[in-house]
Amino acid sequence: MPWSTPCLMSQRLEFIHAVVEHHVPMRAACRQYGISEKTGYKWLHRFLRGGPAALADRSHAPVVPAHQVSPAISAAICALREAEPAWGARKIRQVLRDEQPTLPWPAASTITTVLKRAGQIRPRHRSVHERAAWARSTLTTPQAPNEVWTADFKGEFRLTSGPYCYPLTVVDLASRFILDVRALPSTASAGTQAEFIRHFECYGLPAVIRTDNGVPFGAPLALGGLSALAVWFIRLGIRPERIAKGVPQENGAHERMHRTLKAETTRPPGATFVAQQQRFDRWRDTFNRRRPHEALGMTPPAAHYAISARRYPRRLPILEYPPQVELRRVDASGTIHWRAERIFLTKVLAAEYVGVEETGDGEWAITFGPLRLGYYRTAVAAFVEALAWSPPPDSATLSRTALTPQRT
């Protein structure tokens, strides 16, 4: 996150002065100066090693630019990559340095550039579905319990009796309270939904559920990666929020908990699902109620968690739309009929109602509740995916609702 004032050196010195002289906690100082804790610690360590002069910007240019790598070095890099096509730049660099330590091997970033120029690394082209805006420009920062739950499947492992176990983990981000660790036989959507029903009945509903993009939370081939589980969350008034693909550190607190869970409950694994679940339950109880948590001032998560005031409804709520929005029901093929046109959306929305609203000359926005799916443009008779979230509509402006079938 960038510094918020033009004079960087001045602000960095003020930041260091606040932390070192006035003993302002690092987290509070970083929040005050609009930077991440990682950036704050970086500048503190530089100052402690080199004084004020070390706070000046350093050159970002590579020590050895790719265009200055000798042909012999480039050839050795490409040869090793050809022999080991699954190896990345860091592994290649380490092996070459171990085998020929006297040669000036370039940085991993330069090795990546060399391999790209040689055609041995092809750029990854994202599909339309990978560009879905499931998260806002920044992920939601919770200020209280139940504002954000994080959920994920811990990597599968084999029980000693043979079958694979897929642990589903759900955590309240603000309090770090683990709502459940459940040993499941698969990542199927139906089984996952059944577990979330248990959580909602016990703890109430959160405002946001943050996950990765994998199944069952996402559906790679559907419109914007929209999954059946995400549709159900939206119907319940929960906003699904997804981390960027390939960036698990955006769910860092959850991933850190996973490392502890793996180390303390799966080595060795249990013999059966029942035995493994008993291990999970004992560990979860200790984590929540006895184990001090550094992010919580060395207090346990249970001291900070409270059940949500939003209760799980007996029937799915009706999605509400403003009066100017026209409604269309998605048929079994994932298509809506609009002014003599058939517009394909996704089968995931079959039997649901979507809203169609004119936004400009010949352009119509198609929405599913608070989620804009995209635009239909009459000039080209085509639907263009453009996912985006809108804030919930003011109830005072709603004069009618979608006549969506009530399903539990």
Query: To which H or E segment does residue 278 belong?
Result: helix 273-289
Which pair of tokens denotes residue 118? Answer: 């040689």
Which pair of tokens denotes residue 344? Answer: 């394909």
Q: Tell me the one-letter amino acid at 260.
A: T
Strand, helix or coil at 12?
helix
The predicted structure's pLDDT at residue 309: 95
pLDDT at 397 over 60: no
pLDDT in tens, 287-336: 999 888 888 889 999 999 999 999 999 899 989 899 889 999 999 999 99
Residue identified by tokens 């509400």 is: 320
pLDDT at 357 over 50: yes
pLDDT at 150 over 90: yes
The predicted structure's pLDDT at residue 59: 65
Strand, helix or coil at 77?
helix
Mean pLDDT of the chain, nearest integer: 85
The predicted structure's pLDDT at residue 407: 35
The predicted structure's pLDDT at residue 353: 95
- Look at 68-82, 182-196, 198-212 and tell me which has the smallest mean pLDDT: 68-82
**Exposed e or buried b for every residue in 332-345, given b needs 16+ CB within 10 A?**
eebbbebeeeebeb
The predicted structure's pLDDT at residue 388: 87
Which pair of tokens denotes residue 299? Answer: 């207090």
Strands 148-153 vs 208-211: parallel, antiparallel or unpaired: parallel
Query: The pTM is what?
Result: 0.64
**pLDDT band at residue 406, thresholds of 50, 70 and 90?**
very low
Which pair of tokens denotes residue 5? Answer: 């004032």
**pLDDT band at residue 90, thresholds of 50, 70 and 90?**
confident
- Look at 1-5, 17-21, 178-182, 211-215 and tell me which has the smallest mean pLDDT: 1-5
Which pair of tokens denotes residue 249? Answer: 């550190």
Q: Which of 317, 306, 312 is nearest to 205 (CA)?
A: 312
* Residue 256: CB atoms within 10 Å: 13
End-to-end CA distance of the chain: 43
Q: Whole-angstrom Cα distance, residue 152 to residue 182?
A: 11
pLDDT, average across residues 140-163: 92
pLDDT at 356 over 60: yes
pLDDT, average across residues 211-232: 90
Q: Whole-angstrom Cα distance, residue 157 to residue 155?
A: 7
- What CATH architecture applies to the domain 148-303? 2-Layer Sandwich (3.30)
Q: Whole-angstrom Cα distance, residue 304 to residue 296?
A: 8
Where do the structural domains in the chain lie, given as residue ranges? 8-55, 66-117, 148-303, 320-401
**pLDDT band at residue 209, thresholds of 50, 70 and 90?**
very high
pLDDT in tens, 330-351: 999 999 998 888 999 999 999 9
How distant, in Å, are the alpha carbons of 1, 109, 111, 187, 328 from that of 78? 36, 14, 9, 39, 56
